[in-house]
A and B are shown apart, each in its own frame.
Chain A
């Protein structure tokens, strides 16, 4: 663990930072060069994140001391199974979105490549950091670039959606700041591991203040994770974004869920004494409300992008509810579901753009309005560069079926494995085979999981028939191979997830168990030894 391998932990932050800054130097005439640099950086990040995942799986959490200050004084980066997994997920989705964007979308506005890299930096930083205020900074890096990316392509609809998105997120940032500073005021620390040690020792009269602080802080994450009733912004923002941006945004809403998953067992686990289990009932009820709202929305939607946005709500709600149960087995299944559903929804956002291109040839690069899809538009079209390939409708249809199977949760794809893992954990607590009796909350969650699959089945088959079978003389969509390839690869990955289900689920179970027994995390943070001073080394 010495030499270069130790510094690999900071690479997911440093690499996009350098690449983003480099990309900002070149102007928009050097699109090819910018694309190459961006692609190289993203692929390297993918390679590094695989290495980090192996490292996290093999050993105890790796701690990187920024500025070489020991733990509670300085800021630490912590790489454990959960953060390594999320970084890999981000990198995979980023590669797919970037390859898709390079076909045409990256030229639709300025500085796409820089913003893309800065977004990756913010997301990776949020996954790695072990300090609450540092988390705020990375959140802001991520949000600032997401504002820019949402505006990519411009047009009245995107500007309008961005206006609301920015206001909501700025207001959420204020909650974040108030919560963080109040936590500092009560406990005197911002280091997550240190907080976990100090909370049980907190006098009773300060506990109320701490719980208020954590509640305020959680609002910021719940807005990001789009819990009902804090998630209405998502429905106008995500469908307005250009396809590759919407695909990478699918992982953005998981950042909020990640932080809750990290903090809830760490700060309010069984070791927290009086404060143990704080807020889990809110997550439980709120998560279920989110699933319910998502189901209704899926059933009511006509436009495909809205169906995808509502599916994202269902997916967030499912993960939040699972966190609310604070059961390691269920969390293991939920982590599998998180990975599977994020890949699915990312692929779906990319696919939708390709399908709608076929339905509505007049929709050009600048403005696609999903609302006008049902209208007939037969002027214009057919001058955009590059030849498509003739089998496009069949391939698009096959990919759509794949996405549908994943969202519904039918075998043989990973959506089925994910739902099965969660249902098994709910029905047989701790592997007892259901002899202990199943609490009503579990029944409600089971019902919602099954209903969400049913809603997806109804809506997606309806939309699929209308799109692929009903049109008599439909235009063949001009789809490039590089555009369909990322969708295909993402779907292929879900197949791999399903085939390798046992090994992946084992990893998720280990992750969940480590989350609910945070002593190894805390020890790793405090035992991290400083690097020797320059000159006195080896």
Chain B
């Protein structure tokens, strides 16, 4: 599982960065979204990868080793919400730029 997670984070981040460096605003926003997925997965994986372990203590029995770390899960939730909001904001600016300049180039004019 670590290999799978690491590869997917790598592919997402790599594609994201490539798209981020492209000249069209639509490519940039998709690139930002891919990067944010990669980052969210990365944060999640920082709590150690466990399957079938609950993040909330359900009973007194068992040790802490039986549970998943809840902090990265809380962090990733916050990061998702903030990332979503800022991407939405960027989308508005993107559309405004398209409307004002008549082109979807990031510099507002065709090269």
Contact = CB atoms under 8 A, between A and B. Distances in A.
A177 B106 contact: no
A14 interface: no
Among A140, A162, A174, the most chain B Cβ lie within 10 Å of the Cβ of A174
B56 to A, nearest CB: 16
Contacts of B79: 177
Contact of A177 (B20, B39, B90, B93): B39
B93 A147 contact: yes
B101 to A, nearest CB: 6
Interface of A: 133, 137, 140, 143-144, 147-148, 151, 154-156, 159-160, 162-164, 166-167, 170-171, 173-174, 177-178, 180-182, 184-185, 190
- The interface residues of chain B, by DSSP majority, are classed as helix
A188 to B, nearest CB: 9
B101 A160 contact: yes
Nearest to A139: B82
Contact of A164 (B36, B89, B101, B106): B106
A162 B96 CA distance: 11
B93 A156 contact: no
B72 interface: yes
B93 A166 contact: yes
Interface size band for B: 20 to 34
Contacts of B107: 160
Contacts of B93: 147, 151, 159, 162-163, 166
A163 B20 contact: no
B71 A184 contact: yes
A86 B88 CA distance: 31
A190 B89 CA distance: 28
B82 A137 contact: yes
B39 A174 contact: yes
Nearest to B17: A171
B94 interface: yes
Interface string B76-100: 0011001101110110011011001
A159 B20 CA distance: 18
Nearest to B94: A163
A156 B90 CA distance: 15
Contacts of B72: 181, 184-185
A181 B90 contact: no
Contact of B32 (A160, A164, A167, A178): A167
B46 interface: yes
B48 to A, nearest CB: 8
Contacts of A144: 85-86, 89
A164 B79 CA distance: 21
Contacts of B87: 170
Contacts of A151: 93, 96
B28 interface: yes
Given A144-B86, A166-B89, A167-B28, A184 B101 contact: no
Nearest to B48: A185
B20 A171 contact: yes
B40 to A, nearest CB: 8
A163 B89 contact: no
Interface string B6-50: 000000000000001000010010001001100100110011000
Contacts of A177: 39, 42-43, 79
B108 interface: yes
A174 B35 contact: yes
Contacts, number: 83
Contact of B100 (A148, A159, A170, A190): A159
21 contacts: A133-B75, A137-B82, A148-B89, A151-B93, A159-B93, A159-B100, A160-B107, A160-B108, A163-B94, A163-B106, A166-B89, A166-B90, A166-B93, A167-B90, A170-B32, A171-B20, A173-B82, A174-B39, A180-B75, A185-B47, A185-B72
A510 to B, nearest CB: 35
Contacts of A154: 96
Contacts of B78: 133, 137
Contacts of A184: 46, 71-72, 75
A190 B74 CA distance: 13
Given A147-B93, A181-B72, 13 more contacts: A133-B78, A137-B78, A137-B82, A144-B86, A159-B96, A159-B100, A166-B93, A167-B20, A170-B32, A177-B43, A181-B43, A184-B46, A185-B46
Contacts of A160: 97, 101, 107-108
A191 to B, nearest CB: 11
Nearest to B32: A170
Among A143, A148, A159, A190, the most chain B Cβ lie within 10 Å of the Cβ of A159
B100 A156 contact: yes
B91 to A, nearest CB: 10
A170 B46 CA distance: 21
Nearest to A174: B39
Nearest to A189: B71
Contacts of B83: 173
A147 B46 CA distance: 30
A132 to B, nearest CB: 10
Given A177-B43, A184-B72, A163 B86 contact: no
A154 B96 CA distance: 9
A139 to B, nearest CB: 10
Contact of A170 (B71, B90, B94, B101): B90
Among B20, B36, B46, the most chain A Cβ lie within 10 Å of the Cβ of B46
Nearest to B95: A159
B66 to A, nearest CB: 18
